[in-house]
Structure 1
């Protein structure tokens, strides 16, 4: 899979929906069976609610790398004797007791405790004036760290009570992007949505390869008219959760699609881009779904759908599924992973599409070893956009950033008439294990003649050999 981004595009669009009510929690994540975090992004701040199975303290932190070092930490608890609620703004310099920040930048909203659980609500500004110990929060990936303590901190604020190895963890999230859970609730109340499962069939992952790209041809179920794909979700074989790195579903476009691809429906597939892959499959180049590790899938904005079966011969629509397997332990396994496509006959206002920006798969893309920071870039020229885009330009509504293990930061830069505009998306805390699609809060117009630069930052400080096509 190429480094870079997958952008969902449409020719025109309307504004996204209005904000949620003041008491509605728009996002939620279960950090452990005993710890659930809810939040609601606001214009200048973000509000949180923690429900935790403990009568001691609860901790929530924002970490640059997922550990204690340089983490911005909030501790909260309800006194077991007085019922008084406490909140504290702390920071950590390493794997040691957090230190209380001289500048307290967290506001307690509510707190209660019952016989088993502590429930707290609090608020924090996206950016505080404390640049020394508070992390700026926003559109980029945030690595949450969490902890539970069985006792309240001593002396009212001393966090010396250790949470233990089993009562802590970390998880990457987007705090500002539109909620996938909320979209799913809305979709469940819409007119009937159909599903199409595109999966491998007991594919062998051999024990003599540490990485494998496998492609297989599928035929779209018969549709008597144009439909819209409105989203997708991953179907990961439970046996291979750590091995399925990414999946792409390509449409196969050719005037004689049926005569060319029908014979491959029963074909077990082939190694992608290898001499064993039939040359006919090189016509499968139009991506409609791009999924990568850590993603829960995507539901498109309510005014956008990707066309399905829009040709003169709707029964002749074929697709190719590409799955990339990482197998560093060289284990022998079977796999049935794939993608569930959500689609409907109720057409949405605008047709969407997918565009790829970045670097191609080539041995010339090399990152030297022992690099603390190393940048490369993929370039989409003004000539490219002039030839590729319609006269009206396109709108970007969603972005998926994709790199491999060495990736640390990614920025999609946007240039018009020699002047650089605001980045379409930027993530200085990119997490290889969390490649969820990002729905943009404000759709971005790309016009003919614009230039796009996909800038990728890598770290190879612990590698002794060059890294190719990372």
Structure 2
């Protein structure tokens, strides 16, 4: 009797050990548009576990890739045949050929097949120290997927596609919805998705005014069923209420000739979402404020449709659902743009030369520019940031956001050393970051322009570039931006460089130009600009700011901050690249005036 009891105890302990040692699945997503490949995963501080469910009965492929291709990729192939299962570790060579790894680092946990459906569970250490494996970090990870009913062969293997994901994001906490909460849907209505491969569609939407101040405590994407792979990202702006929406007003392509001029007033970004993202619950002590107004509130919804197969007649009613409560939370949230200013004049904006494997741009925000010119209205409350989003365009490969105090780096707030323009998701910080008068923040962007043969300019278009970080913080200030700009003192030198692009194949030419456009070369100087959307203040940098520019963050495996269970907020998407056009114009004029 005692022996059987002891055996039972041992079995229970072994079962508990198995359960506790296996990371739970905290994320799950369909990676292909046919919803035929479901990926779920969970992780701890040492390893990550995946589960793949497909409708294929031949083999399942899963991998990690630096750029979404087979070149230097890290792959694993699972096969179930005649009741037997196997899992093998492969990698892609420099030319994309599939090769079996000498060291097998993936572990098969379980495999089963029934009703023409295959389920595969496997795990791996986050860092294997195997030259053929990719480290799994907090950076954007490009996931390769493949499945087939055919028998697997190395020669015929092809990847089905890739999807960018943050694998090491903690699960967002559930936020209880109060009984007095209301919901507000802001969405397009049966819009026909254009049959172009890429379309930016804008629609103004009018909602009734509120008689009391409201706090938005949660924003969720609402994607029309069946359109999950058409709707790439969405942005929501608040508009000037002086321009009401006529009953017959229709949507337009954004930024085109037919977009009404009065829509330019819709630059107060409220929220953004990108494919792969989820709900955005705010911390329990913070809310996005909707102020009282005597006029109907007007929003602009911008949707980026992706239609590579140019399908016609697809209808869409996607948008956002806001959860609102009367403004009882302690603080209003604000959004602050930090980085390199997007100047409308090409002579003053970012200039990225062609042929470059790595080309850096740096920007520094000295918080004195904010505190001196736009004092905190809540003087008894320190300014604290709780979430950030890193934003560049197609050439951007790395974005690093760093905090300095007294000229010394105190932390890397966030970093993505495998940046993907098509996947931008905000991250709530492990702990709220307090920024004090005199603190400085540096944004460093690294671009690759090897395929370009002309300069790439800073600007709003996808083919232009940006180097920005959007910070979600509280309590809200009047300032909306703290950005940098460069004045070039030798316009002839700059003109000659831009006209003679072939010379940038020489490393020494590119390095000299890189220093000058970052304000630390002989031909340039550096300024910071702060704005509240109506006025623009110039702040001259001190010696500490210049030393920050000269300091370069070393290439390390340091991971960006991801959420923890102690975080008071969840994960959301914050695809924020709107900015006041008025302040941009002011920046261009001011820079023009200060150039000798």
Give the TM-score normalised by the residue count of structure 2. Answer: 0.60
Count, aligned residues = 422
1:197 aligns with 2:156: no
**Is the CA contact (8 Å cut-off) linking 1:237 and 1:337 kept in structure 2?**
no
Tell me the SS of whatever aligns to 1:384.
Answer: helix
- Cα distance in structure 2, aligned partners of 1:104 and 1:206: 47
Cα 1:70/1:241, change in 2 over 3 Å? closer
- Cα distance in structure 2, aligned partners of 1:328 and 1:453: 37
- Cα distance in structure 1, aligned partners of 2:137 and 2:38: 21
Larger deviation: 347-356 or 414-423? 347-356
1:458 aligns with 2:447: yes
CA RMSD of aligned residues (A): 4.2
Query: Structure 1 residue aligned with 2:456, among 436, 445, 467?
Result: 467
Query: Structure 2 residue aligned with 1:39, among 15, 38, 41?
Result: 41
Larger deviation: 226-235 or 362-371? 226-235
- Following superposition, the deviation at residue 361 of structure 1 comes to 2.4
Counterpart in the other structure of 2:219: 231
Matches within 5 A, 1:259-408: 261-266=241-246, 268=249, 277-278=261-262, 286-291=268-273, 293-294=274-275, 296-309=277-290, 311=291, 313-316=292-295, 318-321=297-300, 323=302, 339-345=319-325, 347-348=328-329, 350-362=331-343, 363=346, 364-387=349-372, 392-408=381-397
Counterpart in the other structure of 2:109: 109
- Following superposition, the deviation at residue 227 of structure 1 comes to 3.0
- Cα distance in structure 1, aligned partners of 2:189 and 2:112: 51
- Cα distance in structure 1, aligned partners of 2:456 and 2:397: 14
Counterpart in the other structure of 2:57: 55
- Following superposition, the deviation at residue 114 of structure 1 comes to 2.6
**Is the CA contact (8 Å cut-off) linking 2:187 and 2:318 kept in structure 1?**
yes
Query: Structure 1 residue aligned with 2:399, among 410, 422, 425?
Result: 410
- Cα distance in structure 1, aligned partners of 2:210 and 2:407: 48
Higher strand share: 1
- Cα distance in structure 2, aligned partners of 1:408 and 1:337: 33
Cα 1:239/1:294, change in 2 over 3 Å? closer
Query: Structure 2 residue aligned with 1:170, among 162, 166, 184?
Result: 162
- Cα distance in structure 1, aligned partners of 2:177 and 2:80: 39
1:247 aligns with 2:235: yes
- Following superposition, the deviation at residue 25 of structure 1 comes to 1.4
- Following superposition, the deviation at residue 61 of structure 1 comes to 0.6
Cα 1:79/1:463, change in 2 over 3 Å? same
**Is the CA contact (8 Å cut-off) linking 1:88 and 1:104 kept in structure 2?**
yes
Counterpart in the other structure of 1:7: none
Q: Deviations over 1:248-291 (max 9, x none)?
A: 41465xxxxxxxx3453339599879997459x76x66432134
Give the TM-score normalised by the residue count of structure 1. Answer: 0.74
**Is the CA contact (8 Å cut-off) linking 2:403 and 2:413 kept in structure 1?**
yes
- Cα distance in structure 1, aligned partners of 2:338 and 2:44: 31
- Following superposition, the deviation at residue 144 of structure 1 comes to 0.2
5+ residue gaps in structure 2? 1-19, 460-464, 466-596
- Cα distance in structure 2, aligned partners of 1:391 and 1:104: 57
Q: Deviations over 1:53-104 (max 9, x none)?
A: 23332221110000100111122233424x3x42222211156552222233
Tell me the SS of whatever aligns to 1:424.
Answer: strand
- Following superposition, the deviation at residue 438 of structure 1 comes to 2.5
**Is the CA contact (8 Å cut-off) linking 2:205 and 2:300 kept in structure 1?**
yes
1:150 aligns with 2:149: yes
- Cα distance in structure 2, aligned partners of 1:377 and 1:326: 32
**Is the CA contact (8 Å cut-off) linking 1:385 and 1:449 kept in structure 2?**
no
**Is the CA contact (8 Å cut-off) linking 1:37 and 1:51 kept in structure 2?**
yes
**Is the CA contact (8 Å cut-off) linking 1:408 and 1:428 kept in structure 2?**
yes
